[in-house]
A and B are shown apart, each in its own frame.
Chain A
Amino acid sequence: MAGGSAISGLVGARVHRKEDRTILTGTGRYIDDVQERGMLHCHFLRSTVAHGRITSIDVSAAREVEGVVRVFTGADMSAITEDLSFAQPIPGLNSPSYPAIARDVVRFVGEPVALVVAESRYIAEDAAALIEIEYDLLEPVMSTAAGLAEGATQLFDDVPGNVVHTDEQLFGDIEAAFAQADHVVTQSLDQHRWACNPMETRGGVATYETGSGQLTYEASTQTTHTLRFLLAGWIRHPIHQFRVTANNIGGGFGLKFSAYREDVAVCAAAKAIGGTVKWVEDRNEHLVAAGAAREEQLTLEAAVKADGTLLGLRVTMKLDAGAYPINPPATVYAGLVRTTLPGPYKLPAYQFRHHIVATNKASYISLRGPWAVETLVRERLMDKIAHTCGISPVEVRNRNLITLDDQPTKMITNVTLENVTAAETFQKLVEMVDLDAVRREQEAARAEGRLLGFGVGTFIEPAPGTQEFWAAVGFPFGSEPCRIRIEIDGKVTAFTPQTPHGQSHETTLSQLIADELGVGFDDIRIVYGDTDATPFSMLGTGGSRAATMASGAVVYGSRELRKRLLEIASHILEASVDDLDIADGVVSVKGAPGASVPIAQIAMGCWLAPEQMPPGTNTEMEFVANYDGEGGGFSQASHACWIEVDQQTGKIEIKRFLVVEDCGKMINPAVVEGQVIGGIAMGVGGMLLEHSAYADDGQYLAATFMDYLMPSAPELPEIEIEHLEFESDKVVGSRGVGEGGTVLAPAALLNAIDDALAQVGRERVTETPVTPTRMLELLGVIEKE
């Protein structure tokens, strides 16, 4: 479906994507597609020990290999770069700085210990194999418990007791809550480590022009502007001479939100050598070294009344942060979990304690919905409360959920909720599911020796969140800019700091501009990422911001330009602005289509002869809008999951999955559904298949795709989605939906597994992943190892 008639009709429609022609014909430009004449290739030698002191490193043989241009040791790299520091003025945050390439100590298997730059990746790997390095082994710390233990080996001098950060926050009268409780329901969960694994690994191409001193870094990144200012400092390069760009990006899921030591090393290498230097991480490196997430241990205690009403909640969380901090600081993750955990439920009192612990593992990074464990533990706790009080999972939620009628209201964590429809999505879900039929089906199955499970969950997510929310978390909630330009030919270019990597922004933002400005969908080009072209934003693409924030920026930008066009046109057509309309790039008088002037004519006049345009009109055809979010907001959804457990093999099949989601006004339903389904796939994968596993000695175990398993098509069901589109009074009623599937699906799935276990009198899941082995252990079919 092409552009054509523009006024209203594109927003809300399943418009075909602009991105598709490029990706379907394979003509995109991903990092590894960059092939410049004379370009050199990087390969990092990486530590094979989890914790050790480097006693010697000899790169002389590597330097001799034909085709090798430079080899950098940690000392070489430290001579030309600053150590990376992610320190922030956060009380109690112990954030060690560290060199781009390890100099003295290595603290995880996979840490870069040398960089080889050569004429090809093949040669670089040959040379790396000749580097001799010796380590004095140190005791590895491989869990939060080990890190916190008395007398544990300390990873860093400035991280006492391996505690990166610890805090306790109290809301309401928690003592009174527990004093009044009819029941205290406890639960614990050890979530395992798993990872983003975009299909395109990390990488970048750094070009240094020795003549001008200009450095350009084309990166597979979610945040060009932040990468630019962080890297400029660390490679000691003037920021005004540093440009960061992004073209096609093969997925990110949060991983590509930070700046990495490899980015520093590659840019510094380009500067030292001159010319163009490319780094592409291979999958083995990526699995070992890029970082992972979700390794958190939580214990919860809920004080409840006999009827299942929540009185108070105590939570303790330990987060395994790996060795080195990245961006954002881990306090943000703890803050997100703490702030969001009460979810859409009424909670009168709350205590949240956390410990973030350094261990000898790759860094803890942002993984789609980094706070997701809060929904996982809370939704499972609700089911346990239901079980304890003898009510259904539906009833316990009905008794505690905040409805629209209750709003505006404040979460116990001081965040105002308004226009939040979690309860309404749950209501709709319940209407669509015949719970009695589900139970009858389960009973019939058990009679045949089969075991079925059913689970539900509901949640809210900050998409994009609100000022209050982000203040509580400790992370900025900035406005979002967009520069929109009406070109001389009347077509439109919009410059956004977003860096889409599958979110379809080129399409959705074009839909919005087309509807607001009255220009054809195909007459709009979206320029993204390039720090030379796009306005500054610290945030790029992530955090489910774009649907609201980028949309708002283009809507407000378009409206301002529309205003200018109409004002000029009103003079030309001698009509009042209110009597004018724009469609298909032409301004005309309503009801008198003959009286019209093409945008192109106005634009050409404004650009080439502004002095001849009607006096007093604004002839600037380019405008930078800054959208503050109109308060921002939340998205919400409820999931229902039906499973069958094979009691002989422990395999879990998801038979049916139902979603009722509300992300406000949908710009493109096909894009929304793609995000929801993709998100669920990731959540399911995390719970059943994926594991960034370490051995006790610190060796990394899941180093190839034979061991790190992501869901393939047969592992997923056909997911059914019902959309509720809450209409607020905001100009921009769209909310984000990129992370929600990944946040909620694990809860619905684990609740279904617990439901199955309960039917055969077995205990609930307390550790993930729920592999076939673990399932049979839980069922009591085999002994735990």
Chain B
Amino acid sequence: MKPPVFDYVSPATLEEAIQALSAPDDGDVKVLAGGQSLVPLLNLRLPQPGRIGDIKGLDELTGITEEAGYLTVGALVRQREAELSDVVRTACPLLHEAIPLIGHTAIRNRGTVGGSIAHADPAAELPTVAACLDAELVARGPGGERTIPAADFFTGFFTTALAEDEILTAVRVRSVGPATGAAYEEVARRHGDFAMAGVAAQVRLDGDTVAEARIAISGVDLAPVRATKAEAALAGRTVDDSILDEAADAAVADLSPSSDLHGSAAYRKHVAGVLIRKAVAAAAARAREAR
């Protein structure tokens, strides 16, 4: 299983990178960040790009900053770096919970935050976190910079709103305040495998009741699903078993996942409900501790 022939460029600046993505003479251009999604596919000769643009040299895409109530993670930040970052842990506990679930250490040593989000695997943790938190995805193209809200970013199966000549440069989320807790729960066949279903949940309490609940589900559709009905059901309520049931049932009713070798549609649907209960309960408990 060896990669097919392709052309390779490694631009030194973001401008050069964007130019490299525009108008190649032969076939697709693919952006190479950590390569943990792209290179296995190249080995299988599934994509046969005309050109690969390796953006490892773009230092402006590294860096984790927290400023004015927002956490910004550069697209090229390694997942492992984000995992170990104290800034991420305090500003975005959901990210901190989710990242260790990605594959294995060696994968996170190379995989990037932006790479995973741009790859948009509907079972992956980072796109689900982005959807949950209404992250802002910052992209740069020949026309300049734009910010794409997560709700508009994941458009389909492994498909994003990024244009052919755009590069994702950063992910931005609102930093959490007090009384906010987060949890990421998933079910995979083995430790580190892609989840059959997963739930990202973040809960902000106002006293004893839910001021804001955010819930996103992975692995049940072509892209991460925001469980808006569940979120609405939770608003203003005290988190207890019966409201968790109500929320989970509301979320699951709308789901029609597909079947594969690892899990049936009925399984995924059922387990999504189980994980919603678990994740929201855990997020609420942590929110209580963080009051």
Q: Is the CB of A715 within 8 A of B187?
A: no
Give chain A interface residues in 768-785, CB to chain B under 8 Å: 771-773, 776, 781-783, 785
CB distance B190 to A650 under 8 Å? no
- In the complex, the answer to whether A649 meets B190 with C-beta atoms within 8 Å is no
Contact A648 to B1, CB < 8 A, known contacts A693-B261, A714-B190: no
Contacting B at CB under 8 A, from A530-564, are none
Rounded to whole angstroms, the CA-CA distance of A121 and B2 in the bound complex is: 7
Q: Do the beta carbons of B189 and A785 come within 8 Å of each other?
A: no
Q: Is B45 an interface residue (CB 8 A)?
A: yes
Stretch of A469-477, A511-519, A703-711 lying at the B interface: A703-711
Q: Are A691 and B45 in contact (CB under 8 A)?
A: no
Closest chain-B Cβ to A284's Cβ sits at a distance in Å of 6
Contacts of A785 in B (CB 8 A): 259, 264-266
How far does the Cβ of B27 sit from chain A's closest Cβ, in whole Å? 14
Q: In the complex, A371→B37 CA distance in Å? A: 40
Within 8 A of A (CB), among B258-291: 259, 261-267, 270-271, 274
As a 0/1 sequence over residues 115 to 152 of chain A, the CB contacts with chain B under 8 angstroms (1 = contact) are 00000011001100100000000000000000000000
A17 interface residue, CB < 8 Å from B?
Answer: no
Query: What mask results when residues 691 to 707 of chain A are scored 1 for a CB within 8 Å of chain B, else 0?
Result: 10100000001101011
* A706-723 interface with B by 8 A CB criterion: 706-707, 709, 711-712, 714-715
Are A284 and B267 in contact (CB-based, < 8 A)? Answer: no
Which residues of chain B have C-beta atoms less than 8 A from A706's C-beta? 193-194
- Distance in angstroms between the alpha carbons of A715 and B192 in the assembled complex: 11
CB of A282 within 8 A of chain B?
A: yes
Contact residues in A for B267 (Cβ distance below 8 Å)? 650, 772-773, 776, 782
Contacts of B264 in A (CB 8 A): 773, 782, 785
A715–B2 contact, CB under 8 A? no
Contacts known (A125-B45, A704-B44, A714-B191); A772 close to B4, Cβ less than 8 A: no
Contact A715 B190 (CB under 8 A): yes
What per-residue 1/0 map shows which CB atoms of B39-52 lie under 8 Å from chain A?
00000110000000
CA of A284 to CA of B1, assembled, Å: 8
Taking CB as reference atom, which chain B residue is nearest A704? B44
0 or 1 for each of A743-785: is its CB under 8 Å from B? (1 = yes) = 0000000000000000000000000000111001000011101
A283 at the interface (CB under 8 A from B): yes
Find residues 154-195 in chain B having any chain A CB closer than 8 Å to their own CB. Answer: 187, 189-194
B266 touches A125 (CB 8 A): no
B190 x A712 contact (CB < 8 A): yes
A649 touches B271 (CB 8 A): yes
B253 at the interface (CB under 8 A from A): no
B95 to chain A, nearest CB (A): 23
Residues of B within 8 Å of A693, CB to CB, are: 261
Contact B196 A122 (CB under 8 A): no
Most buried by B among A283, A284, A715, A772: A772
CA distance A463 to B274 in the complex (A): 47
Q: Is the CB of A284 within 8 A of B44?
A: yes
> What CA separation (Å) do A771 and B271 show in the bound complex?
14
Interface residues on B, range: 20 to 34
**Contact B2 A773, beta carbon cutoff 8 Å:** no
* Known contacts A126-B4, A126-B5, A284-B44, A783 near B266 by CB under 8 Å: yes
Instruction: Report which of B3, B189, B261 forms a contact with A701, defined as CB distance below 8 A.
Output: B261
Q: Is A18 an interface residue (CB 8 A)?
A: no
Cβ-based interface call for A362 (8 A) = no
B274 touches A771 (CB 8 A): no
Bound together, the chains give a CA A702 to CA B189 distance in angstroms of 14
Selected contact of B274 from candidates A649, A709, A712, CB within 8 Å: A649
Assess whether B190 is in contact with A772, with CB atoms less than 8 Å apart.
Answer: no
**Which of B1, B4, B263 lies in contact with A773, CB distance below 8 A?**
B263
A711 to B53, CA, bound (A): 36
Does A689 lie at the interface of the complex (its beta carbon under 8 Å from any beta carbon of B)? yes
- Closest beta carbon of chain B to A21's beta carbon, Å: 26
B50 to chain A, nearest CB (A): 15
Residue A651 is within 8 A (CB to CB) of chain B in the complex: yes
Q: B2 — which chain A residues lie within 8 A by C-beta?
A: 121-122, 125
With a 10 A CB-CB cut-off, give which of A648, A701, A712, A715 has the most chain B CB atoms: A648
In the complex, the answer to whether A772 meets B261 with C-beta atoms within 8 Å is no
- Of A121, A649, A714, A771, chain B has the most CB atoms within 10 Å of the CB of A649
* Contact residues in A for B194 (Cβ distance below 8 Å): 706
Report the separation of the CA atoms of residues A129 and B44 in the bound assembly, to the nearest whole angstrom. 12
Q: Which residues of B contact A715 (CB under 8 A)?
A: 190-191
**Which single member of A283, A712, A783 contacts B192 (CB below 8 Å)?**
A712
User: What residues of B have a CB within 8 angstroms of the CB of A714 in the complex?
Assistant: 190-191
Contact pick for B190, options A283, A284, A689, A776, CB 8 Å: A689
Q: Which residues of A contact B5 (CB under 8 A)?
A: 126
Query: For chain A residues 245-285, which have a beta carbon within 8 Å of chain B?
Result: 282-284
User: Of B190, B266, B270, B271, which contacts A709 at CB under 8 A?
Assistant: B190
Instruction: Give bound CA distance, A282 to B40, whole Å.
Output: 13
List CB contacts (< 8 Å) of A648-673 with chain B.
Answer: 648-651
Most buried by A among B1, B191, B266, B267: B267
Whether A781 lies near B45 (C-beta < 8 A) is no
Q: How far is the CB of B247 from the nearest CB of chain A, in Å?
A: 16
Contact A709 B189 (CB under 8 A): yes
CA distance A283 to B40 in the complex (A): 12
Bound CA–CA A711/B192 (angstroms): 12
Are A772 and B265 in contact, with the CB atoms below 8 A? no
Closest 10 CB pairs between A and B? A773-B267, A782-B266, A122-B2, A648-B274, A282-B1, A714-B191, A785-B264, A773-B264, A649-B187, A782-B270
* Chain A interfacial positions (CB closer than 8 Å to B): 121-122, 125-126, 129, 282-284, 648-651, 689, 691, 693, 701-702, 704, 706-707, 709, 711-712, 714-715, 771-773, 776, 781-783, 785
| 15 more A-B residue pairs beyond the given contacts A649-B271, A783-B266, with a C-beta to C-beta distance below 8 A | A125-B45, A126-B4, A129-B45, A648-B271, A648-B274, A711-B190, A715-B190, A715-B191, A771-B263, A772-B263, A773-B262, A773-B264, A773-B266, A782-B266, A785-B264
B residues in contact (CB < 8 Å) with A: 1-5, 44-45, 187, 189-194, 196, 259, 261-267, 270-271, 274
Query: What are 20 A-B pairs at a CB distance below 8 A?
Result: A122-B2, A126-B4, A126-B5, A129-B4, A283-B1, A649-B271, A649-B274, A689-B189, A701-B261, A704-B44, A706-B194, A707-B261, A714-B191, A772-B196, A772-B271, A773-B262, A782-B267, A785-B259, A785-B264, A785-B265
